[in-house]
Amino acid sequence: MSKFIIAKFGGTSVADFDAMSRCADIILADDNIRVVVVSASSGVTNLLVDITKTTDVSSRHDAFAGIERITLNVLNRLQQPQAVAEPIELLLAELRAMIENGGAVYSSAHKDLIQSFGERLSSVLFAQVLVERGAASLCFDIRRVMRTDSRFGKAEPQLAMIAELAQVHLTPLLADYRVVTQGFIGADDFEQTTTLGRGGSDYSAALLAEAIQAATVQIWTDVVGIFTTDPRLTSDARCIREISFDEAAEMATFGAKVLHPATLLPAMRQNIAVFVGSSREPAAGGTWIAKTVQERPPYRAIALRKSQTLITVKSPAMLHAAGFLTRVFDTLSRHQISVDLVTTSEISVALTLDEGGMTSAFSNSVEPALDELKTFCEVTVEQGLSLVAVIGNHLHSSKGVAGALFHALERINMRLICHGASKHNLCFLIQDQDGPAVVKQLHQSLFSS
């Protein structure tokens, strides 16, 4: 393991020049921070997604104007804007050309290429902010290292290749430079730009930490750590000072947006501790995520994930028959659909899909999968549901867990409940519109003592 620290700064942390300057303070205060992973400035990726979604050229130009404004606002605050004016102008010109010559509908490869501009712009600007603060810093194109497969929109990192490329191209720079690079993006074997999925910069940072055997990963964001639930949902939410990999991974998987769901996989593989803190208030401390922690309370946090789809498949053939479930899951797996919760009865099985979290390529595969299921069973689809996950320890073997939950939610229509498979979570489904109130109520009864 090296002494190097990887620091990742999210969209709000690099939203403008002042925000970037605060991040520079954090970096300059610690000589071991050698790799800096940045997101696109706040709002930019959404504008890029808008460009890929609309066929209306003038809407595309409006979105471009928004991106240009955010970019030039930073550029014009630099002491030496001319130092990076050329690469910035080239990037903007390339993006403009893709808007003008892109045709009515973009291919999925073009969509990823367009979405990559946010991080490519912010990283050039941020490296210059560091240079102007006296740091030896450079902007590094992570596509030279972050090798992925070609599943545009949600590309899968190729770990062995990333480690090898990092060794050759990235590690030699770290003795002399603070290397600023892009989160979220990568490239496939054919040098086509790919993306890791929305919010993927956290995952990029953890993957790079694994590749260079970093000592720790820091995730700098707009909250002072990981809370017992999304602080936007209730003012009762409290910051958790220390949490285990398992618990934090469950939180990320079940919707705690503060971490991309896959972030902790590389950290757990290599036992690299992860710190989450606020770039606005670095002195406020934060949350440490590690393998071993001092306390493992029964209730740790509540996560909420909207826009879930519940699919119920029913077949009298399931009665006393072997193979029905295999056939259902085989169909879903061939269509590359991943299932979250599952419950079964005598002749039916209910399962949930995270359609809200799917890229359009994946949600397009749901319809054909359902059509195939319909050839051998009855299929019902319900949408507009939210998944609530209670995360903690020994939930499957502690007394009173289900009782506490049902008591807190006696007036709520719980559509499905999953409990027992994991010692770390208990999940249930409710209507989307009930989500915020349910989390607030449950948080109060589980945490306010």
Q: Which is nearer to Mg ion, 102 or 183 (CB)?
A: 183
Query: Which 3 state secondary structure label does DSSP give 78?
Result: coil
- Nearest approach in angstroms of CB 45 to Mg ion is 10
Question: What mask, x for binding Mg ion by CB under 5 A, covers residues 17 to 36?
Answer: --------------------
Closest residue to ligand ADP using C-beta atoms: 10
Please report whether residue 183 would count as binding Mg ion according to CB under 5 A: no
Please give the Cα distance from 126 to 18 (Å, whole number): 11
Question: Among the candidate windows 96-104, 114-122, 230-238, 375-383, which touches ligand ADP by CB under 6 A?
Answer: 230-238
- Which tokens go with 400? 């009173």
CA angle 382, 384, 390 (to 5 degrees): 100
Among 118, 153, 186, 199, binds ligand ADP (CB under 6 A): 199
Burial of 43 (0-12, 13-18, 19+ CB in 10 A): middle
Judged by CB, which is closer to ligand ADP: 13, or 253?
13
Helix (H) or strand (E) holding 73: helix 57-75
List 69, 232, 269, 407, residue binding ligand ADP (CB under 6 A): 232
Supply the Cα-derived Rg of the chain in whole angstroms.
23
With a CB cutoff of 8 Å and minimum separation 6, the contacts of 27 are: 7, 33, 36, 130, 135, 178
Establish if 225 lies at the interface with ligand ASP (CB under 6 A): no
Q: Using CB atoms, what's the residue nearest to ligand ASP?
A: 201
Asked if 186 touches ligand ASP (CB under 6 A), the answer is no
Among ligand ADP, ligand ASP, Mg ion, none, the one that 198 touches (CB under a kind-dependent 5 to 8 A) is ligand ASP
Binding segment (CB under 5 A) for Mg ion, from list 116-124, 168-176, 197-205, 303-311: 197-205
Instruction: Establish if 39 lies at the interface with ligand ASP (CB under 6 A).
Output: yes
CA angle 184, 187, 191 (to 5 degrees): 155
- 427 with 254: CB under 8 angstroms? yes
256 binds ligand ADP (CB under 6 A): yes
Select the residue interacting with Mg ion from 102, 118, 186, 199 (CB under 5 A).
Answer: 199
The type of residue at 41 is S
Number of residues assigned to the chain: 449
> Pick from 390, 396, 388, 443: which is nearest to 413 by CA?
388
- Determine which residue in the list 148, 194, 201, 425 makes contact with ligand ASP, applying CB under 6 A: 201
435: contact with ligand ASP by CB under 6 A = no
Q: How far apart are CA 23 and CA 13, in angstroms?
A: 7
Pairing of strands 425-431, 416-419: antiparallel
Cα distance between residue 398 and residue 420, in whole Å: 11
Shortest approach of ligand ADP to residue 251 CB, angstroms? 6
Residue 258 as a binder of ligand ADP (CB under 6 A): the answer is: yes
When binding is defined by CB under 6 A, the residue of 230, 247, 250, 354 that contacts ligand ADP is: 230
Residue closer to ligand ADP by CB (options 43, 81) is 43
Q: Can you tell me which of 147, 154, 257, 300 binds ligand ADP, judged by CB under 6 A? A: 257
Token look-up 């003038």 returns 58
C-alpha dist (Å) from residue 180 to 66, 133, 237: 24, 14, 33
Using the contact rule CB under 6 A, the part of the chain among 189-197, 227-235, 313-321, 422-430 near ligand ADP is: 227-235
**Among positions 4, 7, 9, 11, the unique one binding ligand ASP when judged by CB under 6 A:** 11
Which of 5, 27, 36, 40 is the binder for ligand ASP (CB under 6 A)?
A: 40
Residue at 377: amino acid letter? C
Q: What is the rounded CA–CA span in Å between residue 59 and residue 69? A: 15
Query: Inter-axis angle of helices 44-53 and 117-132, to 10 degrees?
Result: 160
198 binds ligand ASP per the rule CB under 6 A: yes
Nearer to Mg ion, 199 or 435 (CB): 199
List residues binding ligand ASP (CB under 6 A).
10-11, 39-40, 45, 118, 183-184, 198-201
List residues binding ligand ADP (CB under 6 A).
10-13, 39, 199, 221-223, 226-227, 229-232, 256-258, 301
List residues binding Mg ion (CB under 5 A).
10, 199
